[in-house]
Amino acid sequence: MSNLFDCCRKGSSMRVFIGIKPDKKALLFIQKIMKAVQLQGITGNYTEINNVHLTLLFLGEVTDYAPIKSVMDAINHQKFSICVKKVLRFKDMIILEIEQTKELIELQEKLLFALAKQGYKVEKRSFYPHITLIREVKEDIEINTNICSEVKSYELYASQRRSGKINYSVVYKKMLGCEDCG
């Protein structure tokens, strides 16, 4: 993490977003879903299991993480759960559609308003909570499911391309449920 932080301190930019990583139990279940979908012959660009996340806010190219980290530190929010309603095709992707709970929407809105106030260009479109499993898909699919994940933190991620593959690295982690967790 320090190499990424140092990189942005020197003035170069990185693509960043704030997201939630599902807990280990949910990730195992998601991995099983991805294998089952692959066995059904669904082709496309599958997300690496280590890159699976729910994006709260995409920020784009950023040269300094410190203001984002300060905003994250200033937001207090309780732990909560996210639950997947179904696996479905959305545009050219297979996604996990996430239930829009009050706690999830509140966290996303707190981040959106605080970062917009700091001058960040934030997306104007409505928040549609989902986890992308596969990109560049032509086949349709819709499966009802019930996967829940406890959310104890959210993270600031940097997106880098290494050896032709996208890799998401956690730059900063904000714990939920307490004011002094850092």
Q: pTM for the whole thing?
A: 0.88
Q: Which residues of 123-138 are buried (b: 16+ CB within 10 A; e: fewer)?
A: eeeeeebbbbbbeebe
Q: Does the pLDDT of residue 4 top 60, yes or no?
A: no
Residue 111 confidence class, pLDDT cut points 50, 70, 90: very high
Among 115, 116, 133, 127, smallest CA distance to 66 is for: 115
pLDDT mean over 70-96: 96
What is the rounded average pLDDT for all residues in the chain?
Answer: 90
Residue 178 confidence class, pLDDT cut points 50, 70, 90: low
Q: What is the pLDDT of residues 85-102, one digit of tens each?
A: 999 999 999 999 999 999
Q: How many CA atoms lie within 13 A of 23 on its CB side?
A: 14
What is residue 60's predicted lDDT score, i.e. its pLDDT? 92
Question: Per the CATH hierarchy, to which homologous superfamily does domain 2-175 belong?
Answer: Cyclic phosphodiesterase (3.90.1140.10)
